Amino acid sequence: MSELLKVKGIGEKSLKYLNTIGINTIEDLINYYPYKYTVSKIDEVTTFEDGKSYTLHAIIDSYPTLRRFNAKMNSLTFRVGSNKKVFKVIIFNRAYLKQNLKLGMDITITGKWSANNNTFVASDIKLEKIPSGRIDSYYHLTSGLSNTMLKKYIFNALNMNIDIEDRVPEYLNKKYKFIDKNKALKYIHNPISARELKMAKLKLIYEEFFEFMFKISYLKKVNKSKKEGYIRQIDKEKVNEFIRSLPFELTSDQVKAVNDIYEDLSGNIRMNRMLEGDVGSGKTVVSVIASYINNLSGYQTALMAPTEILAMQHYNTVKSLLFNTNIRVGLLLGSFTKKEKEVIQEEIKLGKYDLVIGTHALISEAVEFKNLGLVITDEQHRFGVNQRASLKNKGLLPDTLYMSATPIPRTYALTLYGDMDISYIKTKPAGRKEIKTIIKSEKEITDVLSLMKNELDNNHQIYVVSPLIEESDTLDLTTVNELKTKMSVAFNNKVKIGILHGKLSKADKEKVMDSFVKGETQILISTTVIEVGVDVKNATMMVIYDAERFGLATLHQLRGRIGRNSFDSTCILIGSNKNKRLQVMTESNDGFYITEKDFEMRGEGDLFGVKQSGDMSFKIASLKEDYKILLQAKEDVKDFISSKDYLNYESYNKFIESIRSID
Ligand code: ADP
Ligand code: MG
């Protein structure tokens, strides 16, 4: 039974809604912070100006009259008294309010004065006298769950007096005069004044950074104590020969990255390198060369990807790139049967594979390597601190290479990855065309279908990112199946359409992906599982439904699935052309530009891929806005670690334990 059901007001139904927005425990619930606050300001007006907006206290002075213009349009009209004036109020499409508006009732109205009609045109009516200065909090919701409901659940949970650990050490709470954790949580959800809200934010931001910096710093400490790496004798000519055998010439940035890695691997200090390059810049081949170098010196390589689909694809790509070598490539996925896993694990242990590709299964299962020399983590931002740590510690002293398409601005990168070396791939392989991005509204679907038809007529393939949300436990495939039917009909049943989502079995995923790669299916309807890494060159169009629900980083990653060839590619975002994020997408294909915009618009935004990432998504802190606090927390963590004060905290001990257990 979910512990959430113990919270007053939460039943099976609301539990489901809460789960969809990632709330699975009471702790998740109370840490689900509002994304915005409004402060009500009440106007006291003596003379109205035409077209100006006001928020007023008023008393209802007449019964409301309801008029229905048509099925969709209605109005309520009534008289009010406000600040010694009597006037008419009209509000559209709130027929349901009629029974609640009682004579003599105190209400708060927001709207504009229309001098022409001598009427107050309300956009909002609150059925109470809202005090000036009241702060209201607003949460990201899902359909079925209202702001009021969620607020009530959080309020009830906070009143259960559960034990919540304050992760800021007592001496620092004193030093900075922070309020205590319980109070901070109460204020963050229900601030009574701006001052309390500010204090609550400060405390929680600091705490979040402090905990984050602790993990990073602790890991650095552990890693430092194992600084020496393997000493390798590498035949450079063999490496060059391999590079010449590749189907394309490396870009100059790729060559530089390969050289960095070569230097690291032939030196005697452990490699700890981040390979940064925008989507489609060609990081995979660099990692393959790295594993080739590693293999020349007789060691095994582990390559981790964040999703099974990506791991399977890497497996295929890597195998074909290594075709002319005698490197044996293995695949290990979480969805393999127990038996399959055992067989592969045994072979890894015996050294039957030189390069093993996998997902989390590579670390979460009891995988023992014969002689692991290099660990490569693709889409690094998708893995939590813990997971990175654990794989790192599998071998004795493996070198590590991280790959990420998240262009973190340099200052932040230095703070977060202070101990890492970074290689950048800035230029994309030659011959790539800019992807054209356009916004279409739901009403313009016929346009979208005809654009799709053009593309199909040219024998190209199309991704459709479905309106289906992946995280929910039970997938309701109706919308997707409807979409499939609609498209089949639109294209006279002449195209084959595949459906891909995270809940498919491994075999089914493979089948769906395979037939898209081979060009047997022309359209792939998918959830965001295709977000990272997937590489099908012949796909030249992507249609993203409900594009507004995604952050910029996700949209950029998704779009990166197309434009992988010299063909013209188009990305169609379905949503409102007034949406700022969607507009940014139409302006540029450059990940750095998009990240900068994301920073400008909303702090670091969902830069780190909020949905799946472990360590990099902050709940309340913003890398950009609160950078000074981050630096302070980083300083404070140093003392905290050297004094061993962390031993007094359950959460920090747990973290350390989790590293030790796989060490
Ligand atoms: P990402 O950096 O996003 O992981 P990939 O490694 O998937 O990018 O590479 C994107 C595509 O570019 C792949 O199809 C790959 O084969 C191709 N590619 C990589 N390097 C080059 C190059 N130097 N010249 C031409 N194509 C390249
Ligand atoms: Mg990649």
How does pLDDT run across 434-455, given as a tens digit for each residue?
899 999 998 999 999 999 999 9
The answer, yes or no, to whether any atom of ligand 1 lies below 6 A from the CB of 248, is yes
Tell me which residue has tokens 């606090």.
629
Phi then psi dihedrals of residue 22, to 5 deg = 85, 15
Task: Report the range of poorest mean pLDDT among 51-65, 117-131, 644-658.
Answer: 644-658
Task: Report the range of poorest mean pLDDT among 68-77, 231-240, 319-328, 651-660.
Answer: 651-660
Please give the mean pLDDT across all residues of the chain. Answer: 86
pLDDT band of residue 614 (cuts 50, 70, 90) is: very low
Quick check: helix, strand or coil at residue 417? coil
Q: Does the pLDDT of residue 460 top 80, yes or no? A: yes
Instruction: Count how many residues are written for the chain.
Output: 663
The answer, yes or no, to whether any atom of ligand 1 lies below 6 A from the CB of 310, is no
Q: Does the pLDDT of residue 519 top 80, yes or no? A: yes
Interval between CA 287 and ligand 1 midpoint (Å): 11
Task: Report the range of poorest mean pLDDT among 111-125, 357-371, 590-604.
Answer: 590-604
Q: Does the pLDDT of residue 387 top 60, yes or no? A: no
Q: Does the pLDDT of residue 508 top 60, yes or no? A: yes
The pLDDT value given to residue 205: 95
Quick check: helix, strand or coil at residue 85? strand
Going by C-beta distance under 8 Å and a sequence separation of 6 or more, which residues neighbour residue 586? 437, 438, 439, 573
The answer, yes or no, to whether any atom of ligand 1 lies below 6 A from the CB of 251, is yes
Find which of 36-40, 85-89, 515-519 is predicted with most confidence, using mean pLDDT.
85-89
For residue 216 the two structure tokens come to 């990073």
The pLDDT value given to residue 605: 36
The answer, yes or no, to whether any atom of ligand 1 lies below 6 A from the CB of 404, is no
Q: What share of the chain in percent tops pLDDT 90? A: 49
The answer, yes or no, to whether any atom of ligand 1 lies below 6 A from the CB of 306, is no
For residue 75 the two structure tokens come to 């109005």
Interval between CA 225 and ligand 1 midpoint (Å): 36
- In a mutational test of the pocket of ligand 1, which residue from 251, 284, 428, 530 has the highest number of ligand atoms less than 8 Å from its CB? 284
Q: Report which protein residue has its CA nearest ligand 1's atom 26.
A: 429
The pLDDT value given to residue 227: 64
Q: Does the pLDDT of residue 608 top 80, yes or no? A: no
Please give the helix or strand (H or E) that residue 198 lies within, else none: helix 194-224
Alpha helices in 267-384 (DSSP H): 283-296, 308-321, 338-350, 361-364
Q: Report which protein residue has its CA nearest ligand 1's atom 23.
A: 250
The pLDDT value given to residue 384: 53
Which atom in ligand 1 lies closest to the alpha carbon of residue 564?
A: 11
The pLDDT value given to residue 548: 87
Q: Report which protein residue has its CA nearest ligand 1's atom 5.
A: 282
CB 111 within 8 A of CB 82: no
Show contacts of 294-297: CB within 8 Å, 24+ apart.
294/265, 294/373, 294/374, 294/399, 295/325, 295/327, 295/354, 295/355, 296/232, 296/234, 296/235, 296/238, 296/239, 297/230, 297/232, 297/233, 297/234, 297/265, 297/373
Alpha carbons 282 and 303: distance in angstroms, whole number: 16
pLDDT band of residue 256 (cuts 50, 70, 90) is: very high
Interval between CA 532 and ligand 1 midpoint (Å): 13
Query: What Rg value do the Cα atoms of the chain yield, rounded?
Result: 28
End-to-end CA distance of the chain: give it in Å, rounded: 34
Interval between CA 535 and ligand 1 midpoint (Å): 9
Is the model more confident about 66 or about 474?
A: 66
Q: Does the pLDDT of residue 29 top 50, yes or no? A: yes
Q: pLDDT of 580-602, one tens digit each? A: 889 999 999 888 788 777 766 65
Closest CA to 94 of 75, 107, 78: 75
Mean pLDDT of the region 73-84: 94
The pLDDT value given to residue 133: 86
pLDDT band of residue 604 (cuts 50, 70, 90) is: very low
The answer, yes or no, to whether any atom of ligand 1 lies below 6 A from the CB of 250, is yes
Interval between CA 450 and ligand 2 midpoint (Å): 31
CB 379 within 8 A of CB 405: yes
Q: pLDDT of 105-116, one tens digit each? A: 999 999 999 999
Q: What share of the chain in percent tops pLDDT 70? A: 88
The pLDDT value given to residue 510: 84
Quick check: helix, strand or coil at residue 107? strand
Mean pLDDT of the region 211-228: 76
Task: Report the range of poorest mean pLDDT among 103-107, 229-233, 297-301, 370-374.
Answer: 229-233
The answer, yes or no, to whether any atom of ligand 1 lies below 6 A from the CB of 277, is yes
pLDDT band of residue 226 (cuts 50, 70, 90) is: low
Which atom in ligand 1 lies closest to the alpha carbon of residue 250?
A: 23
Task: Give me the half-sphere count of Cα atoms (radius 13 Å) on the Cβ side of residue 130.
Answer: 21
Q: pLDDT of 630-656, one tens digit each? A: 999 999 999 999 998 899 898 898 888
Find which of 201-205, 364-368, 525-529, 640-644 is predicted with most confidence, using mean pLDDT.
201-205
Q: Report which protein residue has its CA nearest ligand 1's atom 13.
A: 282
The answer, yes or no, to whether any atom of ligand 1 lies below 6 A from the CB of 340, is no
Q: Report which protein residue has its CA nearest ligand 1's atom 15.
A: 282
DSSP string over 10-71: --HHHHHHHHHTT--SHHHHHT---SEEEE------SS--TT-EEEEEEEE-S--EEEEEET
Is the model more confident about 418 or about 567?
A: 567
pTM of the model: 0.67
The pLDDT value given to residue 393: 47
The answer, yes or no, to whether any atom of ligand 1 lies below 6 A from the CB of 407, is no
Q: pLDDT of 308-339, one tens digit each? A: 878 988 998 999 999 989 999 999 988 888 89
The pLDDT value given to residue 105: 96
